[in-house]
Amino acid sequence: MRFLTAGDSHGEYLVGIIEGFPAGHRISIADIRRDLQRRRQSYGRSARQKIETDSVQIVSGLWKGKTTGAPLAILIQNLGRTVSGKPGGALGTVPRPGHADLPGALKYGLREVPPVSERASARSTALRVAIGSVAKSLLEDFSIDMLGHVTSIGGIDAQKGSRSIKTLRRKVARSPVYCGDKQAADRMIEVIREAKKSGDSLGGAIEVIATGVVPGLGTHVEWDRKLDGRLAGAMMSIQSVKAVEIGEGLECSRKKGFESHDAMYLDGGHVRRDTNHAGGIEGSMTNGEDIVVTLYAKPIPTSLKRLPSFNMKTLKPTKSPFVRSDVCVLPPLAVIAEAVMAWELLVAMTEKFGCDSVDEMTANYRSYVKQLRKRGMR
Ligand code: EPS
């Protein structure tokens, strides 16, 4: 199973094609819309989000509302087609430090910034959310649930609270910055407001949790099939993400081995653990515990505080251009990372249980779960 995307930030459409999705799954456009709306509506976004509605269509690969095994083609129309009245924005020939502008122009022999920035733009994450939403809906049939939430913005950290997805989801839904800690969220809103006033942008961290995942997805046997490597690579590919942590990777790097690993014991014939430092992944495979991944994002590089740069045409020094921009993308990042997690887990599920049809997948899944139960799992 794989997907490809096309589309520019201010072009007509974002286009996605999913190939190899199992046949027989009913797709709900309403669910995809809900996720797109979560991505669009949060505190700290640019005025662009008032322009977009992210209306989504699936234009092929369905028969009577269900997948057929044929490629699924997804379209999202862009309504914001210009910035400052110019297609592709007012960027011209001055690259923004921290953006794809300079390396992209050099690599492709381009003389202007927009042909690079239009494609590098995080606008394309709308499509990744739509694709992830389709993946998430199939994972639900296998009792897998997931949630992304904000844990830090601009140096304000949320207190570690309940990791129960149900509890967190309720709290996050009430928070304009998708953070489960109300006190921290109020401070985050304040720092975003201050950053906006001073023309700056903010980074932070989000955590994604997936629950209900069977042990044995991914593998230890070859480097490019390792699930932690794939998850980290996919998460790193999201715009602005600069570090990815699985479980308590950072904290464990400072601890001793005895404190870092998750002891197992038997309770009435069932394997149990009281801790999850590993974040649900051991030996590059799922181990049956919740999967926990943290993403760290830099502040986005477009801001009113213009950084020193140069004009590619005249080779004269100047300041980086300002175009309409987000102040903080951490809340939408929580939704995007959730979608990315869904995609990677679904790929791993289809590798283990087959991807021609949902019926085949379900039969293989059930037989595996039966074996797991005999061995004290779940
Ligand atoms: C982005 C710049 C902004 C963001 C955009 C990503 O767009 P504009 O230049 O039109 O104001 O709003 O993100 C989205 C449109 C979106 O839907 O996420 C960039 O340069 O990456």
The share of the chain scoring above pLDDT 90, in percent, equals 90
40 CA distance to ligand 1 centroid (A)?
A: 11
For residue 336, give Cα distances in angstroms to 62, 132, 211, 331.
Answer: 24, 8, 17, 9
Q: In the prediction, which pLDDT does 104 show? A: 98
Question: Does the Cβ of 301 fall within 6 Å of ligand 1?
Answer: no
Closest-CA residue, ligand 1 atom 19, reads 121
> What mean pLDDT is predicted for residues 240-247?
98
Q: Which residue has the higher pLDDT, 140 or 50?
A: 140
Residue 359 has pLDDT above 80, yes or no: yes
Is residue 56 classed as helix, strand or coil in its secondary structure?
A: strand
55-93 burial code (b ≥16 CB/10 A, e <16): ebebeebbeeeebbbeebbbbbebebeebeeeebbbbeb
190 CA distance to ligand 1 centroid (A)?
A: 22
Q: In the prediction, which pLDDT does 179 show? A: 98
Tokens 């304000």 locate to: 156
Q: In the prediction, which pLDDT does 89 show? A: 67
80 CA distance to ligand 1 centroid (A)?
A: 9
Number of domains in the chain: 1
Longest dimension (CA), the chain: 75
Residue 111 has pLDDT above 70, yes or no: yes
Question: Does the Cβ of 230 fall within 6 Å of ligand 1?
Answer: no
Question: Does the Cβ of 352 fall within 6 Å of ligand 1?
Answer: no
pLDDT in tens, 251-285: 999 999 999 999 999 999 999 999 999 999 999 99
**Which of 349, 292, 333 is closest to 143 using CA atoms?**
349
346 CA distance to ligand 1 centroid (A)?
A: 28
Range of the domain at 30: 2-374
Written as six digits, the tokens of 210 are: 């997936």
Neighbour tally for 18: CB within 10 Å: 22
**Which of 103, 126, 127, 101 is closest to 116 using CA atoms?**
101
Average of per-residue pLDDT values in the chain:
95
- Confidence band for 37, pLDDT divided at 50, 70 and 90: very high
Distance separating alpha carbons of residues 244 and 293, to the nearest angstrom: 7
Closest-CA residue, ligand 1 atom 20, reads 121
Please report, in angstroms and rounded to a whole number, the separation of the first and last CA atoms in the chain. Answer: 27
pLDDT in tens, 147-198: 999 999 999 999 998 879 999 999 999 999 999 999 999 999 999 999 999 9
Give the number of the atom of ligand 1 that is nearest the alpha carbon of residue 54.
17
Q: Per DSSP, what are the bridge partners of residue 211?
A: 145
Give the number of the atom of ligand 1 that is nearest the alpha carbon of residue 126.
17
pLDDT in tens, 203-231: 999 999 999 999 999 999 999 999 999 99
Query: Residue 320 corresponds to which amino acid?
Result: S
Question: Does the Cβ of 179 fall within 6 Å of ligand 1?
Answer: no
Q: Which CATH number does the domain housing residue 158 bear? A: 3.60.150.10
Residue 291 has pLDDT above 90, yes or no: yes
Closest-CA residue, ligand 1 atom 17, reads 123
